[in-house]
Amino acid sequence: MSPFRSLAEYETFVYTLQQGYPSITRSTLVLARRGRSTANLMGELHFANGYRMIVYELLTWDEGPVRIERYSYEVWRDNEKVYWYDPQPHPNDPSLAGTHPHHKHIPPDIKHNRIPAPELSSVLPNLPFLINEIIGS
């Protein structure tokens, strides 16, 4: 998928996710402008297989395509956090250098057990990969 050239394009993408992914049973995603060239995407996606994903993205589009400056994607099943993705730098972990800053937290010891996340991007939408990962669970 190519980068989005405007916030309006990204907004259309977000608000039509359920059409492209029928396994999403409910979406509370809201894209809200926070300034001339900044917006937040926040909310949850609920899936038929019992999973839910909490989504947060800080978006900018000053020059060029929409960029995901910061994000957090948490995946839950019932009351258990299964895994999450974030771009918090971990410069002392050389195993993450290849996909810096993108990585995934996984069990056991979900807070400290991290693996590279080459599928995530700052300029391409992350939601299609994340949704497909959940659907395949």
Q: What is the pLDDT of residues 65-95, one digit of tens each?
A: 899 999 999 999 999 999 999 999 888 888 8
Domain boundaries, the chain: 7-135
State the amino acid at position 61 in one-letter form. W
Per-residue pLDDT of the chain (137 residues; tens, 9 = 90+): 667 888 999 999 999 999 999 999 999 999 999 988 999 999 999 999 999 999 999 999 887 789 999 999 999 999 999 999 999 988 888 888 888 899 999 999 999 899 999 999 998 999 999 999 999 86
For 17, which DSSP code? H
The secondary structure of 63-108, three-state, reads CCCCEEEEEEEEEEECCEEEEEEECCCCCCCHHHHHHCCCEEECCC
